[in-house]
Amino acid sequence: MPSHAGTPPNDGPLIEVRGVSRVYRRPRSSFGRQGGVVHALRDVSLTVQRGERHGIVGESGSGKSTLLRLLCALDQPTAGSIRFDGREITGRPERALRFLRENLQIVFQDPMSSLDPRMRVRDLVAEPLVGLGLPVGNRVAELLDAVGLPAGAAGRYPHQFSGGQRQRIAIARALAPRPAVLVADEPVSALDVSVRGQILNLLADLVDELGLTLVFVSHDLSVVRHVCETVTVMSAGEIVESGPVDDVWAAPAHPYTQALLRAVPTLEGLL
Amino acid sequence: MLKVEGLTVRADGVELVHDVSFSLAPGERVGLIGESGSGKSLTALSLMGLLPEGVTATGRARLGGDDLLGVPESRLKGLRGSRMSMVFQEPMTALNPLMRVGAQVAEVMTLHGRPRGEARERAVELLDRVRLPEPARLARAYPHQLSGGQRQRVMLAIALANGPGLLICDEPTTALDVTVQKQMLDLISEVAPALLFITHDLAVVASMCERVLVMYGGRVVESGPLREVFTRPRHRYTQGLLAASRLTPRGTRLPVIEGSVPAAGHFPGGCVFRNRCPHATPTCETEPQLTEPQLTDPAPGDPAPGDPAPGDPAPGEPTPGEPTPTGDRHAFACWHPAE
């Protein structure tokens, strides 16, 4: 694969989040809670190095989805700064975010709702290229081959594929503009366990072959441990623990991480 | 207490569930596992009499002295929610969004003849029993005001309201966070009478059940005591599922089952798993029967193992060669079983 032309040489971290907070206003009070503001993220800082496989773990309400939206510049932080390849991405209008859109792509949890059911696979995979005004050429065939789908898949619709195959389509689409960073938001949570391995193996291969940086979001620390070297554990909008995943796995320091590890049922522990 | 024999479910001439048989003793916890499209939810729905329009079940299923298949809806109405009940995967769609949760718990009791006032009091007790905080106050809340875990507890309270003998749970924790899942599973273990637990998560079933049925392509392909099935799987599908459930160290390839589950009606004839099975041979074009290995070895010329694993229940006396699908012992339907 060609190198990522247009990426300026930079030795600093690829993604740098500094003191980011995001406050939402709650429209009305809810049962058992006070109304008012919700601190979805409080003073979050994290760094992702080039080529790193970084896992983000947390449960619903932990702020991991908010953090992802901010990383992808789909939302703006209330405070703090996010730099991608040394360039600030917060507060910029969409037209000034082309460098980010070309270099950071996302794979969502549910491939059924992230793929337009009325578009053929060919158009779905080419869409990021068309959107960025890049040449399509025979890139679609190349991508389908890279994710292990037959060339004939191009003319079909998403509903004609199984969940695992749809996730392959979503990965092919994300890779279309040759991004430097792949963000995967719970990419295997909706899949059966027999297919989970296929997708995780594929992601690992692609990350290796293309030299990608991977941000992998999951509620399952054991999946993150298989995929990533480093992990950030989030709870209630804050980072409670971060570091090499093997260290966090072996000796979780924060009570929340400990509870999370205890709660995951494992076959090894039960048999 | 529950005995299912030859349950077959069809829609538009396509067989979705084929000849499923099993039984459940009072207080027993049985897991029904398999991937999406394996027929496990349809099996549960046919027992509850909740199959969608155009889908029909044949065979025999008895709960205590009552037939569940081929009986009129009016008869099932009396049983459903009273002698047997079900907790569904998605509590947001299973609860009525316009009704306070206390009233929904009370409704299932008034429907089965309990006086209104008494039902209302008992609803609060039930919400307390499923460990919801401030049950009296929470009974006045609407479903959208609760978290996913709280909603699923309300579903469980509704299911338990009339003291059923059988509780069916269909992926009750799949939509929940792991810490909430743990609490919910602990609670189900504590309160369930007899339990039929459906899940695709092998680790979850291992934490809940004593016995397990593995389904694929609408058939039970392996069954038996959970520990035995999980430590010494014989069917190649079960073996593949177990291998795929274990996450190997970083940098290594994860074991996978090649291909994907075919759509309904597109499973191969003979052994339903043979198009994905690395051990398939022409023999597999003939359908293997679910049999116990100690008594009848399905692979011709292969010596019968005859060495029951430790903790194996004392062998019964079924006729060799005859399928013993409702037995409690380890059975499988495979021509080339794993050793």
Is the pLDDT at B52 greater than 50? The verdict is yes
Considering the domain boundaries, does residue B224 fall inside one? no
Regarding whether B275 and B176 lie in a shared domain, the answer is no
Residues 6+ apart with CB under 8 A from A203: A171, A182, A184, A187, A214, A216, A227
In a domain, B130, yes or no: yes
Measured between alpha carbons, how far is B185 from B130 in angstroms, rounded to an integer? 11
**Which residues in chain A touch residue B180, judged by CB atoms under 8 angstroms apart?**
59
pLDDT tens digit sequence for B12-51: 989 999 999 999 999 999 999 998 889 999 999 999 999 9
**Which pLDDT does position B180 carry in this prediction?**
86
Q: Give per-residue pLDDT as tens, B181-227.
A: 998 999 999 999 999 999 999 999 999 999 999 999 999 999 999 99
Which of the listed residues B193, B209, B225 is the one where a domain comes to its end?
Answer: B209
Look at residue A3 and tell me whether its pLDDT is greater than 60. Answer: no
Confidence band, pLDDT 50/70/90 cuts, at residue B175: confident
**In this structure, are B173 and B251 located in the same domain?**
no
pLDDT value of position B80: 93
pLDDT of residue B332: 95
- Cβ of A195 within 8 Å of Cβ of B256? The answer is yes
Examine residue B223 and state whether it is found in any structural domain, yes or no: no
**pLDDT confidence of B178, banded at 50, 70, 90?**
confident
Give the model's pLDDT for residue B221: 97
Q: Is residue B11 included in any domain, yes or no?
A: yes
Is the Cβ pair A200, B245 closer than 8 Å?
Answer: no
Q: Which chain A residues contact residue B181 at CB under 8 A?
A: 263
Q: Compute the nearest-CA separation of B77 from chain A (Å).
A: 34
Instruction: List the structure tokens of B97.
Output: 């969004």
Residues B170 and B88 in one domain: yes
Does B198 share its domain with B288? Answer: no
Give every strand in the sheet of B55-63, ordered side by side.
Answer: B14-24, B2-11, B55-63, B66-67
- Nearest to A175, CA basis, from A163, A188, A184, A164: A184
Do B165 and B203 share a structural domain?
yes
The rounded distance, in Å, linking the Cα atoms of A122 and B157 is 49
Render pLDDT for A18-77 as a digit per residue (tens, 0 to 9): 999 999 887 665 565 556 788 899 999 999 999 999 999 998 889 998 999 999 999 999
Summarised one tens digit per residue, pLDDT across range B274-310 is 999 999 999 999 999 998 866 444 444 444 444 444 4
Residues B71, B184 within the same domain? yes
Residue B227 placed within a domain: no
Residue window 94-123, chain B: list those with CB within 8 Å of chain A: none
Residue B62, in any domain of the structure: yes
Residues B296 and B160 both lie in one domain: no
pLDDT for residue B155 is more than 70: yes
Last residue of a domain, one of B192, B209, B226: B209
Residue B318 resides in a domain = yes
Judged by CB atoms closer than 8 Å, whether chains meet at A222 and B246 is answered as no
Residue B248's pLDDT is what?
Answer: 87
Domains of chain A, earliest start first = 15-263 (3.40.50.300)
Nearest of A227, A176, A226, A262 to residue A53 by alpha carbon: A227
Q: Which amino acid would we find at residue A201?
A: N
Q: Which of A193, A227, A259 sits opposite B250 (nearest CB)?
A: A227
Residue of A nearest to B209 (CA): A270
User: Are B112 and B156 within one domain?
Assistant: yes
What whole-number percentage of chain B has pLDDT above 70?
90
DSSP string, B170-193: ESTTTTS-HHHHHHHHHHHHHH-S
Q: Which tokens belong to A23?
A: 């406050």
A219 contacts in chain B (CB < 8 Å): 177-178
Non-local (6+) Cβ contacts of A97 within 8 A are A73, A89
Q: Does B260 touch chain A (CB under 8 A)?
A: yes
Quote the minimal CA–CA distance from A181 to chain B in Å.
19
Whether A194 has a pLDDT exceeding 60, the answer reads: yes
Same domain, B148 and B277: no
Confidence of residue A2 (pLDDT cuts 50, 70, 90): very low
pLDDT of residue B294: 60
The CATH number of whichever domain residue B9 belongs to comes to 3.40.50.300
Nearest to A219 among B178, B182, B256 (CB): B178
Nearest CA in chain B to A159: B263
| B104-154 pLDDT, tens digit each | 999 999 999 999 999 999 999 999 999 899 999 999 999 999 988 899 999
Q: Is residue B244 part of a domain?
A: yes
The total number of structural domains that make up chain B: 2
Name which of A30, A192, A268 is nearest B36 (Cβ-Cβ): A192
pLDDT of B235 above 80: yes
Backbone phi and psi for residue A127, each to the nearest 5 degrees, phi listed first: -55, -45
Domain of B249 in residue numbering reads as: 238-339
- CB atoms under 10 Å from CB of B336, counted, come to 20
Q: How many CB pairs under 8 A join A and B?
A: 104
Instruction: Tell me the backbone φ, ψ of residue B15, rounded to 5 degrees.
Output: -85, 120
Instruction: Categorize the per-residue pLDDT at A214 as very low, low, confident or very high, splitting at 50, 70 and 90.
Output: very high
Using CA atoms in the order A67, A72, A75, A77, what is the torsion angle rounded to 10 degrees? 50
Look at residue B179 and tell me whether its pLDDT is greater than 70: yes
* Domain final residue pick, B167, B191, B209: B209
Based on the fold, state whether residues B198 and B242 are members of the same structural domain: no
Question: Are B194 and B86 within one domain?
Answer: yes
Task: Tell me: do B19 and B118 sit in the same domain.
Answer: yes
C-beta of residue B251 within 8 angstroms of C-beta of residue B238: no
Q: Which of A197, A228, A270 is closest, CB to CB, to B203?
A: A270
Q: How far apart are CA A119 and CA A108, in angstroms?
A: 17
Reference B292, options B317, B271, B270; nearest CA is B317
